[in-house]
Chains A and B, each alone.
Chain A
Amino acid sequence: MVMATPMLLGVRHHGPGSARAVRRALSACRPEIVLVEGPPEADPLVDLAGHEDMRAPVALLGYAAAAGAARAPGAAGPSRPNVRTANQPVAFWPLAEFSPEWQAIRWAAANEVPVRFIDLPVAVRLAIDSVEHQRPVPAGIRVDPIAALAEAAGYDDPERWWEDAIEHRLSDADAPGTDVDQVTALAPFAAIAEAMRAVRASNPPQPGPEGLDQERREASMRRALRAAVKEYDRVAVVCGAWHVPALSDPLPPANADASTLRGLPKIRVTMTWVPWTHARMASALGYGAGVSAPGWYHHLFTAPDHPVARWLVRAAAVLRRNGTAVSSDHVIEATRLSETLATVRGRPLAGLAEVTEAARAVLCDGDELRLALINRRLVVGDRLGRVPETTPGVPIVRDVSAAQRRLRLPPDPLPREIDLDLRREIDLERSRLLHRLLLLGIEWGQTLPQRRGLGTFWESWRLGWQPEFAVDLVAAGTYGTTVPDAAAARVAELATAAASLADVTTLVERCLLADLAAGLPGLLAALRERVALDHDVAHLMEALPALARTLRYGDVRNTDTGALREAATGLVTRICVGLPGALCGLDERAARAMRERVDAVHASIGLLDDAEAATRWRETLGSLAAVERTPSDRTAPGAPGTPHGLLAGRLNRLLLDGGVLDADEARRRMRLTLTIGVPAEYAAAWVEGFLAGDGRLLVHDERLLHLVDEWITSIPQASFTEVLPLLRRTFSGYSAPERRMIGERAAHLGRGGGYEQPGAEPIDADRGGPMLVTVARLLGWPHAG
């Protein structure tokens, strides 16, 4: 069986029916060489595809060999619009079990037939992409030729047309062991070639980069084809259906193609196989292959018989695992419905649309949530690919494995918890690695609330290595070749995309935790810009705590924080200016949110250790707390001009705790608030703000307790029921012993017996002195003693 012309197998990329047809055609015609649409640099990798440990879905990855070191990704400022193009150029060719190209490669490997990839070299492609600033297109589809054919046949969905017209008709004869003669095996491909010729004739190549790209690729394919035809008699070509007419006889003169390909730019590239997932093949995701239902295609390709019934049985199993009772009768009825539906729609066999409708109506009782579960688990699926150990590694993956070995932190899938002491170099390195991987979206470690000690140098993690991380890591490789480079580039991208100020400050914190000095300058620029533009004091207040924590822990992690301190001080100034306006005219809920913010800022100011900022904050609080309620705003507790009672009380409490306000003044203000002239709700809110959180004040200051007691007894009966819940809320926040002690105190109020007045006994300075010195030493005050 001598073939005069090469056999051209035009396929639909990732079409299971095409894959079967290709396999059938190859075993019927037994070519001496198989040419596959793909990057020629992958030729040496073909042997690995036949390896027993190789499991689809996998992807061919091509990346610039020496790019990472030459370019510092951190240099890409956040103002640059498309940070990704500044990174390492890469290209992926995902292949699933049901991809015709994969089946061709596997067939060739099993039959020891050589395989050559015939597309434009990835070296050229990446070089052109970096010049023209375009994303690499993994699988080239210029115009969707199938869509044109489907439209002509009256289909609205090209996928369905292909399924009806080609795949369902082709797969009939595909029983194992059936010998198909060459003519039958090649007939569908002849028909497709004919159709494509018509489509291409009515769609002449577009001028511009797209048309040019297609010309180059097809020139490259023809060159490889000519070379193969000279060496072998029987040549098979597996390529996208679109390219078949360009490769058919008579081929144009070789020197025309040579001149098309002459002088194209090139960079050094490396190629390898990487594992892939079905989820990543789905079109919605980054380097997707445009396959919206990889799980369904895989099922169609692998199911030996009764694809519809088997599919619905699997769907029922998914639902049962999630606690929905689905009986065999349901499956029977769903199968009947999908077949009837196919008949009603005039289709030869039920497709994904029909089984989905049947699953919705019968298995899910019309419930979209359950259907979404089937979609996620089955239609997309969670199949994960695997590559042999001997596959050349991807730089970032090598970097991570090297770090894992060096830091003695093996990628163990079983979750375990570790505590890191950041004073030790190795633990610090571990922490950095985990934080950097988190920034890259690889959640190997989860930070836990501190379990050991109270020091800031302890960090607790829960580790669990998921197999998909290998794929995520490869995808993260688009940001850089090493973990720090990639993480820094990712930070720059996130900073540009950050929606709010708080997002940026969180990022600053994460960046410092990950010790990414390279990413910091760009981040701070973004931070300054957002601080200047943000008018909402609430946002500014939310941004401060993360910055303050960062500054505090920067010391532990040996990071330089000068610029950050400047940013934080600026933030405090802006907050102080805007605070008076922000506290007024709030309703109950807004006041509660604001109280949390005020508390957080107050705590952050303490962390900042900046005398000037602290003074400014205290003064702002002082002036706000001193605003007295005038009789005119008696009506509404949240009337403009005065802070909400809750906040007024809270501010006074903060000042009292900070020693700015003396106890007598605090009592005076409280007495003033708790008089008959002030509405009871306002007073209750004030009391809550003042007393909430810590009950010791009431335990130890009997005069305050007395005031509260007096006020409660003087509330008129009508308003008492309204005030009671507010009071309960205040007091329920105290710990049980505190409540008990306050209760005891209140019981003895006015009786004078049992308890002594606090402060009645003078403090003995001589006996207390040495203790104070010791406490000061413990706290690390150098001037004490």
Chain B
Amino acid sequence: MTEADTGPDPASSIQRRHAEDEYAAELAALAASDDPPRPPGWKLSPAAVITYLLGGTTEAGTPITPKYIGQRRLMEVAVATLATDRALLLLGVPGTAKTWVSEHLAAAISGDSSLLVQGTAGTPEEAIRYGWNYARLLAEGPSAAALVESPVLRAMSRGSLARVEELTRIPSDVQDSLITILSEKTLPIPELGGERLARKGFNVIATANDRDRGVNELSSALRRRFNTVVLPVPSNVDEEVDIVSRRVAALGRSLDLPDLPPAADEIHRVVTVFRELRSGMTEDGRSRLKSPSGTLSTAEAISVVTGGWALAAHFGDGRLRAADIADGMVGAVVKDPASDRIVWQEYLETVVREREGWRDFYRAARDIR
């Protein structure tokens, strides 16, 4: 099988590229005109990392797209934390761009966002420390060659950032294996009679879900190694519409969806519905609403619009219409078939029905039962 069979260019056939590849041009442009001193092991200066995250233009005039839309101070604290070689803990409800921010931080600072440990209830200690290639271990005994490095160990030797997703889902004893790594910046390997020292530039970004706090609460010893940044839900409609439109456009490109005319109205509608149900109050502040059991994050709003886009492009008339988003919307809101359905019906009948210009959406949503 030749390359011609799989596609014209292997890079473009990758479903989702790492941030450092996707935005390689921007990172290169930033590095080219980056004068301020860089912390040891960093690819960019802190100021350039913030520009990369929040958008702007380089001194040479290259435009940088914003990766995070929200308060500047949050990104400043995050970058300053990593510059003081303290570990960074990003907290927030699902869908507040925690993973997104950590990936881009790793891409901008280390040029490598792939050193990732996904936290689950079954994450073993080997995922954070090291494991063994047992065939080799049995054949040759403990040796460096038989060692299977974890992403964290690899990050230590390379002096780059390691990412731990969903830290609070990891069992407490496994979590605590991070303590030595973070405080001593070293990992003893008693089997080889030595240790692995972290190079400058090594650090850890962890994300955790606010709602999960009770799952595996961090021990205070571990907690102490982290600076905490809480990522909030977007503060107003315009900000959230901005986030959704940008992400939908970016996703549409990477999923090769046929081009659609911009559909600001429908995006605004999705965001409004999500915000109202999430906050339990209409945007005009007049009536109270019940909130469904799901989190209704911005990320879900993005997937509702992307889904609607796919529907419109492949089955519709090429324009994003109310009916295209209604389906995904009901699916996003109604997570618990009993109670959420009532919440949704109430919302439809009391708020959507009365709202001017929302007739089409009301009809479309009502037909989905």
Contact = CB atoms under 8 A, between A and B. Distances in A.
Given A325-B220, A333-B227, A337-B84, A344 B73 contact: no
Interface in A334-355: 336-337, 340-341, 343-346, 353
Given A325-B220, A365-B223, A340 B228 contact: no
B229 interface: yes
B289 to A, nearest CB: 20
B77 A361 contact: yes
A329 interface: yes
Interface in A98-115: none
B253 interface: no
Assign chain A's interface to a size class.
20 to 34
A165 B227 CA distance: 30
Interface string B204-244: 00000000000000001001100111100000000000000
Contacts of B228: 360-362, 364-366
B79 interface: yes
Contacts of B47: 344, 346
A362 B78 CA distance: 11
B80 A366 contact: no
A337 B224 contact: no
Interface residues of B, number: 21
B12 to A, nearest CB: 36
Given A362-B227, A366-B91, A366-B230, A337 B80 contact: yes
B343 interface: no
Contacts of B46: 340, 343-344
A358 B228 CA distance: 9
Contacts of B89: 366
B305 to A, nearest CB: 30
A231 B117 CA distance: 80
B224 A336 contact: no
Contacts of A357: 73, 76-77
A327 interface: yes
Interface string A293-327: 00000000000000000000000000000000101
A325 B221 CA distance: 11
Nearest to A329: B224
A368 B223 CA distance: 17
Contacts of B177: none
Residue of A337, A341, A344 contacting most chain B CB atoms (<10 Å)? A344
A337 B229 contact: no
A345 B77 CA distance: 10
B310 interface: no
A357 B79 CA distance: 12
Contacts, number: 58
A506 B229 CA distance: 46
Interface in A566-580: none
Nearest to A341: B80
B50 A344 contact: yes
A327 B221 CA distance: 11
Contacts of B230: 366, 368
Interface string A103-143: 00000000000000000000000000000000000000000
A341 to B, nearest CB: 4
A344 B91 contact: no
A327 B224 contact: yes
A336 B80 CA distance: 9
B229 A361 contact: yes
Interface in B42-82: 46-47, 50, 73, 76-77, 79-81
Contact of B73 (A346, A353, A366): A353
Interface in B27-51: 46-47, 50
Nearest to B39: A340
A362 B46 CA distance: 19
Given A344-B50, A361-B229, A362-B227, A337 B77 contact: yes
B81 A344 contact: no
A368 B84 CA distance: 23
A330 interface: yes
A344 B229 contact: no
A375 B50 CA distance: 27
B332 interface: no
A360 B91 CA distance: 13
B86 interface: yes
Contacts of A337: 77, 80-81, 84, 86, 227
B79 A344 contact: yes
Contacts of B229: 361, 366
Nearest to B46: A344
Given A353-B73, A366-B91, A366-B229, A340 B80 contact: yes
Interface of B: 46-47, 50, 73, 76-77, 79-81, 83-84, 86, 89, 91, 220, 223-224, 227-230
Given A337-B80, A337-B227, A366-B91, 5 more contacts: A327-B224, A340-B46, A344-B79, A344-B80, A361-B77
26 contacts: A329-B224, A330-B224, A333-B86, A333-B227, A336-B84, A337-B77, A337-B80, A337-B81, A337-B86, A337-B227, A340-B80, A340-B83, A341-B76, A341-B80, A344-B76, A344-B79, A344-B83, A345-B76, A353-B73, A357-B76, A361-B228, A362-B86, A362-B227, A365-B228, A366-B228, A368-B230
